[in-house]
């Protein structure tokens, strides 16, 4: 008598994996709480932080 694999039941309302993404990316339509920041904003803020860090290092070296 062969062993049968147990089927895992997914969460209620979970859909199939997208075929175009080969199962690597799954899109969720549920809204999550928290701050919503776009990728452009993140890149701009990261660039500002990098520039400010470089300026502070140069300023520190120039004054000492």
Q: What's the chain's length in residues? A: 64
Residue 58 has pLDDT above 60, yes or no: yes
pTM: 0.50
Domain extent listing, the chain: 37-64
Evaluated on CA atoms 26, 11, 14, 42, the torsion sign reads: negative
Residue 56 has pLDDT above 80, yes or no: yes
pLDDT in tens, 21-34: 555 566 655 677 88
Model confidence band, residue 64 (pLDDT cutoffs 50, 70, 90): confident
From start to end of the chain, where are the E strands? none
């Amino acid at each position: 008598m062969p062993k049968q694999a147990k089927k895992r039941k997914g969460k209620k309302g979970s859909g199939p994996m997208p075929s175009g993404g080969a199962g690597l990316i799954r899109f969720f339509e549920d809204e999550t709480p928290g701050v919503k920041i776009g990728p452009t904003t993140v890149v701009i803020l990261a660039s500002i932080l990098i520039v400010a860090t470089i300026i502070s290092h140069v300023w520190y070296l120039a004054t000492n």
